[in-house]
Amino acid sequence: MQCPSCQHTDSRVLESRSADSGRSVRRRRECLHCEFRFTTYERVETVPITVVKRNGSREAFNRNKLLHGLLRACEKTGLEPSRLESVVDELELQLQGRSGREVSSGDIGELVLVQLAEMSDVAYVRFASVYRQFQSVGDFVATLEGLQGASARRSSAKRLAAVG
C-alpha cells in the first residue's frame, strides 16, 4: 500500500476491523519510512451490473439512484431510511447473484415493489405510480385492488399459521 504522504510502498497494519456492516475491512496503517498513519478500506470487487432501460439504452446500476427513488416514495410514511438502505442492499445482492450482468429496469422495479408491498401500502402505490407510469385514475384503482387482494391473502395466511 502506497503512503499518501511520502509514496513509500511499505507499511504495517496497526488495526483491522469490519466496516459497512461487514461488507468491507477498515485498516489503520503506518508507513515504515515516514511513520505517517492512514486508513484504507478493503472491499470485495463486484462485477458491474448494467441496467437496460425501457428505451433500450444501458447504464450502470446506481444504488444511490434507487435509494433516492425509495426515499421519495416513502416520505412521511414512517419507514426508517436505514430499512430502505437494507432493501437496496438486499436487491443489489440479488442482482449480483444472477448469472447475467444485464437486468431490465422493469425487473428491478418489480423486485422493489415486492419489498414495498410488505412494508407500506402508501409507499407501494407511490413507487408504482412512477415506475409503471400511471396515466389515469383507473391505473391507481387497479393497483389498489391488487394490493388489497394481496393484503387479504397475507392476512389469511398469517391466521392459518397462527392456528396450525
Distance CA 146, CA 143 (A): 5
Nearest to 32 by CA among 9, 4, 56, 59: 9
pTM over 0.85: no
- Residues facing residue 39 across a β-bridge: 28
Check residues 39 and 150 and name the one with the higher pLDDT. 39
Q: Domain map of the chain by residue range?
A: 11-43, 50-141
- Give yes or no for residue 2 having a pLDDT over 70: yes
pLDDT tier for residue 30 given thresholds of 50, 70 and 90: very high
Q: Which pLDDT score, from 0 to 100, does residue 19 have?
A: 82
- Mean pLDDT over 120-124 rounds to 86
User: Counting beta carbons within 10 angstroms of the beta carbon of residue 105, is it exposed (0 to 12), middle (13 to 18) or buried (19 or more)?
Assistant: middle
DSSP-assigned states of every residue in 51-71: EE-TTS-EEE--HHHHHHHHH
